[in-house]
């Protein structure tokens, strides 16, 4: 015991360590002879080669079993998420603040929308077909080129006043801004059960917001919204989605909303829900499922 407990000085420890790294008497390098190191390294090399092989083999057979067109399970994507453009996130979710008289504050927002809509120019959509039917576009066969399925065209002009074509500033300087609502893609999801789902935007009336509205001497007014396309619907012919491999040129249908009576200098909380059978927006954990909430404040 005595020898174990003896306090070693630092230099002794260093000496011991040096001796461990290379012991000239026994010719041990870190406790092993060199040839022993070679053997053990070879063994581990072989071991890891085999393990990597097993790993690769397992991943390969996994890839063989998965369906290339659609995932095996969709239980975690029961209801689509909803996103908003422009999307500026603050500390607590989407926050869109700007000043009408300071164009620096809204130019970024406008650019975001313009960039987003570049995927919806006629040129970008040229591979897609024009659809007129108001029912689900069910395709059991691969009718498109290169063994794909067809996708319906959605071009930005369908958003009319919010297309950025007539008003490249999307109404931001006037204080009547356009926002674009997009519903997430889910393979073989049939929203609305035969009726086209539509977007519905309202104030989220918190006490604070209501107080602010009254304080400014205003009667609380319902939010006035213009929806594009008309009624804010997603046409059924854009559904179902068949997946990236089947519909490589598919693009999500959009709905644009233009708020017409925004009170200035007040932070407003607005929620845009998608109303339709099969779309839920009451998941307490997920703020973006079936709806999108955001704060809007327009200053002057």
Partner 1 sequence: IQDDHKLSASELEEKYGTSVNKGLSSARAAEILARDGPNSLTPPKATPEIVKFLKQMVGGFSILLWIGAVFSWISFGIQFAQGAESPFDNLYLGVVLAVVVILTGIFAYYQEAKSTNIMASFSKMIPQQALVIRDAEKKELSADQLVVGDIVEIKGGDRIPADIRLIFTQGCKVDNSSLTGESEPQSRSCDFTHENPLETKNVAFYSTTCVEGTATGIVINTGDRTIIGRIASLASGVGHEKTPIAIEIEHFVYLVAGVAISIGVLFFIISVSMRYKILDSIIFLIGIIVANVPEGLLATVTVSLSLTAKRMAKKNCLVKNLEAVETLGSTSIICSDKTGTLTQNRMTVAHLWFDNQIYSADTSEDQTTQPFDQSSPSWTALSKIVTLCNRAEFRPGQENLPIMKRVVVGDASETALLKFAEVILGNVMNIREQNKKVAEIPFNSTNKFQLSIHETDDPNDKRFLLVMKGAPERILERCSTIMINGKEEPLDSEKAAAFQTAYMELGGMGERVLGFCHLYLPENEFPDTYPFDTDSMNFPTSNMCFVGLLSMIDPPRSTVPDAVSKCRSAGIKVIMVTGDHPITAKAIAKSVGIISATSETVEDIAKRLNIPVEQVNRREATAAVINGMELKDMSLQQLDEILCNHSEIVFARTSPQQKLIIVEGCQRQGAVVAVTGDGVNDSPALKKADIGIAMGIAGSDAAKNAADMVLLDDNFASIVTGVEEGRLIFDNLKKTIAYTLTKNIAELCPFLIYIITSIPMPIGTITILFIDLGTDIIPSVALAYEKAESDIMNRRPRNKMKDRLVNEQLAVYSYLQIGIIQSVGAFITYFTVYAEQGFLPSTLLGVRVNWENNAINDFEDSYGQEWTKYQRMYLQWTGYTAFFVSITIQQVADLIIRKTRRNSIFQQGLFRNKVIWVGIFSQIGIALILTYGLGHATALNFTPLRFQYWFVAVPFAILIWAYDEVRKLFIRRYPGSWWDKNMYY
What is the smallest separation between the CB atom of 153 and partner 1, expressed in angstroms? Answer: 17
What is the smallest separation between the CB atom of 286 and partner 1, expressed in angstroms? Answer: 4
Told to check if 119 binds partner 1 by CB under 8 A, we report no
What is the smallest separation between the CB atom of 60 and partner 1, expressed in angstroms? Answer: 10
Q: Which is nearer to partner 1, 53 or 145 (CB)?
A: 53
What is the smallest separation between the CB atom of 55 and partner 1, expressed in angstroms? Answer: 5
Told to check if 289 binds partner 1 by CB under 8 A, we report yes
Question: Rounded to an integer, what distance in angstroms lies between the CA atom of residue 121 and that of residue 107?
Answer: 21
Told to check if 14 binds partner 1 by CB under 8 A, we report no
Three-class DSSP labels, the chain: CHHHHCCCCHHHHHHHHHHHHEECCCCEECCECHHHHHHHHHHHHHHHHHHHHHHHHHHHHHHHHCCCCCCCCCCCCCCCEEEEECCCEECCEEEEEEECCCHHHHHHHHHHHHHHHHHHCCCCCCCCECCCCCCCCCCCCCCCCCCCCCCECCCHHHHHHHCCCCCCCCCCCCCCCEEEEEECCCECCCHHHHCCCEEEEEECCCHHHHHHHHHCCCCCCCCCEEEECHHHECCHHHCCECCCCCCCCCCCCEEEEEECCCCCCCCEEEEEEEECCCCCCCCCCCCCECEEEEEEEEEC
Each residue 183-222 as x (binds partner 1 by CB under 8 A) or -, in order, gives -xxxx-----------------------------------
Instruction: Look at residues 252, 68, 71, 241 and name the one whose alpha carbon lies nearest to residue 149.
Output: 241
Told to check if 7 binds partner 1 by CB under 8 A, we report no
Residues in contact with partner 1, total (CB under 8 A)? 54
What is the smallest separation between the CB atom of 120 and partner 1, expressed in angstroms? Answer: 15
Told to check if 243 binds partner 1 by CB under 8 A, we report yes
Q: Which is nearer to partner 1, 81 or 278 (CB)?
A: 81
Q: Which is nearer to partner 1, 22 or 44 (CB)?
A: 44
Q: Which is nearer to partner 1, 7 or 300 (CB)?
A: 7
Instruction: Look at residues 286, 255, 269 and name the one whose alpha carbon lies nearest to residue 94.
Output: 269
Each residue 41-80 as x (binds partner 1 by CB under 8 A) or -, in order, gives --xx--xx--x--xx--xx--xx--x--xxxxxx-xx--x
Told to check if 137 binds partner 1 by CB under 8 A, we report no
- The residues that touch partner 1, with contacts defined as CB under 8 A, are 1-5, 31, 36, 39-40, 43-44, 47-48, 51, 54-55, 58-59, 62-63, 66, 69-74, 76-77, 80-83, 87, 89, 91-92, 182, 184-187, 241, 243-245, 247, 250, 283, 285-289
């Amino acid at each position: 015991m005595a020898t174990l407990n003896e306090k070693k000085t630092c230099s002794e420890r260093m000496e011991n360590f040096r001796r461990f790294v290379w012991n000239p008497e026994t010719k041990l390098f870190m406790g092993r002879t060199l040839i022993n190191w070679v053997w053990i390294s070879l063994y581990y090399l072989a071991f890891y080669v085999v393990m990597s092989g097993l790993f690769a083999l397992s991943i390969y057979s996994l890839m063989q079993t998965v369906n290339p067109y659609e995932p095996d399970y969709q239980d975690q994507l029961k209801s689509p998420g909803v996103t908003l453009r422009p999307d500026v996130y603050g500390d607590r979710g989407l926050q869109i603040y700007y000043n009408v008289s300071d164009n620096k504050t809204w130019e970024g927002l406008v650019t975001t929308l313009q960039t987003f809509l570049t995927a919806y120019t006629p040129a970008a959509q040229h591979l897609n077909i024009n659809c007129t039917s108001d029912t689900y576009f069910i395709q059991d066969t691969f009718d498109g080129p290169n063994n794909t399925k067809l996708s319906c065209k959605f071009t930005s002009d369908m958003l009319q006043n919010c297309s950025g074509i007539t008003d490249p500033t999307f109404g931001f300087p006037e204080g009547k801004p356009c926002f674009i609502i997009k519903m997430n893609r889910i393979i073989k999801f049939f929203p609305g059960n035969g009726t086209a789902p539509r977007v519905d935007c309202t104030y989220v009336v918190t006490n604070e917001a209501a107080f602010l509205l009254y304080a400014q001497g205003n009667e609380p007014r319902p939010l006035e919204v213009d929806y594009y396309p008309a009624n804010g619907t997603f046409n059924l012919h854009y559904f179902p989605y068949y997946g990236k491999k089947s519909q490589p040129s598919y693009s999500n249908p959009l709905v644009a909303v233009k708020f017409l009576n925004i009170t200035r200098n007040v932070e407003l909380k607005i929620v845009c829900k998608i109303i339709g059978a099969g779309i839920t927006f009451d998941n307490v954990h997920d703020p973006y499922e079936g709806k999108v909430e955001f704060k809007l404040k327009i200053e002057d």
